[in-house]
Structure 1
Amino acid sequence: MSCREDVWLALSELWLDTELDQAALRHIATRLHASGLSLDELQQIYGYEVAPQVWLNHWTAAGVWDGFEPQWLFAGCRRNQLAGRWHRLKCRLLRRPMTYGCRAEWQQVLALLAEPDVD
């Protein structure tokens, strides 16, 4: 599994139909930190690659709760990664509904990433 694929998997956990406790959020932050990607790049991946692929899970009555199928996730995120300006514009317009269900958890992950001992 590539570094970016692990980031996609880690971030996708924010959209699962489960409540994430502090340990789960710390685990996500640790995986993101281990990627070596900058905070800016992680935010781009969150908003433009992962969110467009999984956001509807928060708007479904009985969404996925145990993890997204990796090949489906990777294919969609890869497609989103390569998409152009129109995709980015759509993501900016839909940012609020795409991140509505996990915005607080994402802010907590960002705070954990800012800690010096995130490992």
Structure 2
Amino acid sequence: MPDKRCCPVTSGAIAERVVVVYHALSSVVRNEQKESMMTKADLVAQIAARANMTKAAAERSLNAMLESVQEMLAEDGKLTLTGFGTFVAETRQERQGRNPRTGDVITIAASKVVRFRPGKMLKDALNK
């Protein structure tokens, strides 16, 4: 039986039904949120299935690729995967901002950011 503490109605048969419905709706919302995103574990499983390899080998491959992308952006500042897109490391200039808690004007330090520009194949796949 689901925990009744999460629901404001806590006594009787109606309360039990409300709690069951509450938990059912919560799981639907969680499932909808999960379906709209892919975790690293999901990606590893998909790579393993498509490449006919173990999940451990797929995870090592994915980690090697991600490390290579990081190193390439740190060294050269640009990585192009033809058809997929281009990753570019850019420096965001120092700028003025406002502390939302106090309202004081603050200086936000310069920082590096990564921008991604999708390639034609990726754009076409998304717009099917």
Considering the TM-score relative to the shorter chain, is it more than 0.5?
no
Higher RCO (CA 8 Å, separation ≥ 6 residues): 1
Greater helix content: 1
Shorter-chain TM-score tier: under 0.3
